[in-house]
Structure 1
Amino acid sequence: MAPSSSSQEPCTYFRRPPTYVMLLITAGMGYYGWAVFAPATIPYDNLGPLGTFTKYLVENHNTPFKIGYLISWLIHIGEALYSFKLCKEKGISGHITQLLWFLQTLAFGGFSLYYLKIYKPSRKASERFNQKTK
């Protein structure tokens, strides 16, 4: 069971999304990248409706399909940069912990950012961090 958000030191607070979410996002982004960079290698006929739909997009809407892939990564990059800002606001000062939040949010986007956004550090910890940064 994951520790509650109030039982962990603010400078090292870190939580992962559920494993199934991480697997789904990894599979989805991996498949999307595969369809963008090596569409000729995809066994469309073996993938049922997903293969048919992907083949249709690759053959008939290739440019918007590739732009969508780029936009999805730009969104993930923006969310990852925002995670640095949230870490500072919430008193998460450990550099390794901030890097973990950045990398996790880069990979899993909003599903990672959610746990950082809902984190409420103790008032004392936030005040201590704000005094150090002034």
Structure 2
Amino acid sequence: MAKDYSRTQRLGEQIKRDLAQMLQFQVKDPRLGLVTLNAVKVATDLGYADIYFTVMKPGMVEADEPTIKETEKVLNDMAGFLRTELSQIMKTRITPLPRFHYDISLERGHKLTNLINKATREDKDRNPGE
């Protein structure tokens, strides 16, 4: 039986915390907006870590496609630097290579919530007595 909280999950949480601090305090790239790390999935062989993020630029409500693509490219270009910095912080023999992906789950959640709200409003309009 597998453990409830495996080593790769613990390592993923540690990577998420450390990378969030690095992106906030050490990385001074003006092309990056406000990057939020949502989830980290570490491979079982610790070869790589898939990191899911969202991004906002100042004055924007939602990130547009060019902003997302540029942020993803910048983060993946600095993956080697971030791996080196992680290896100095973490006490593991192998440091996973970060691979950044935009997290679309929040957008999907907003769209589904809007659809549900629209459907309930239409249902109430059709059946006002219930």
**Fold shared, TM-score > 0.5 on shorter chain:** no
TM-score normalised to the size of structure 1?
0.28
TM-score normalised to the size of structure 2?
0.28
Pick the structure with more helix per residue. 1
Pick the structure with more strand per residue. 2
Larger RCO, structure (CA 8 Å, separation 6 or more): 1
